[in-house]
Amino acid sequence: MKRHYAPPSLGGVESIGIDEFAVRKGHKYKTIVVDLKTGRILYVGGGRSEESLKKFWRRVKKKNVNIKYVATDMSDAFINSVRNNAPKAVHIFDHFHVIKLMNEKLDDIRREVVNKEQDEERKKLIKGTRYILLANEENIRQNDKGAHKLDKALALNTPLTQAYYLKEDLREIYRQPDKAKAEDKLNEWIAMARGSGQKQLINMADTLECHKNGILAYYTCSISTGKVEGINNKIKVMKRNAYGFRDDSYFTLRLFALHDCHITRNVG
């Protein structure tokens, strides 16, 4: 496996995705770098800090690799790492993570509403709407029962309604014909979120304002960490099937081999 997979070639790599995964839930993390063109894992680093990527960038410089596009979430560690090591690359903040962050804010508001609600029937209804609120509205509307439950919950509480429709409207930032229109939509969203007066929504607006360039970079290169997320799911399956890995070096080699299904099935 060392002969076949270590170290992975960086030849021709231009666009990469960076993400983290838990080795053991709540305890230990690793950071991976993936070639977004081929789906190969190029690097595995211990932890989820800026430090965990230093060896990767050192190798990029040594091999004179021109990284043009990088997709990550909005973590400070990844932002600082890309800024300090690939300042000329277009850094795109993954739109799935932006939506996920908004879903977390919406869920916080839902929990607050549940805790403040005095009527037990209303409390029970709102408590049971988590899945419906976080799902895409167009999917929920396809089912009459789901649509009815959604409408009933939204009719009960104004803050929840505000947050829900702002969550849905956030997706429109990524459906504009060009970057200029997307920026207008983003500015409009930020203004509405701040105008809501809700702490979680104002916090979300501030986050989007701070990361505006990386969000709008999606219109320069529409890449995401979706491929990396798919690999993370494969890693979970691999760990589960192997009942974990005690040898960290062997685990890393298995990660490098993930893109080769035949080798992955038959090695080990």
Average pLDDT over residues 170-179: 96
What is residue 38's DSSP assignment?
Answer: T
**For residue 76, what are the contacts with CB-CB under 8 A and spacing of at least 6?**
none
**Selected residue with higher pLDDT from 102 and 140:** 102
pTM: 0.85
Q: Evaluate if residue 92 carries a pLDDT over 60.
A: yes
Supply the pLDDT for residue 251.
Answer: 82
pLDDT bucket at 243, cuts 50 / 70 / 90 = low
Q: Which residues touch 219 (CB under 8 Å, ≥6 apart)?
A: 176, 178, 179, 182
The amino acid at 204 = M
Q: What is the pLDDT of residue 76?
A: 96
User: Average pLDDT, stretch 189-217?
Assistant: 97
In whole angstroms, what is the distance from residue 10 CA to residue 14 CA?
9
Q: Residue 197: what pLDDT?
A: 93
Q: What six digits make up the tokens of 140?
A: 């929920």
Q: What is the mean pLDDT of residues 51-64?
A: 96
**pLDDT score, position 267:** 37
- 114 with 126: CB under 8 angstroms? yes
> Which two three-digit tokens encode residue 17?
């995705």
What band does 264 get if pLDDT is binned at 50, 70 and 90?
very low
Is 268 a residue whose pLDDT tops 50? no
DSSP symbols for 190-203: HHHHHHT--HHHHH
Q: What's the pLDDT at 102?
A: 96
Residue 39 has pLDDT above 80, yes or no: yes
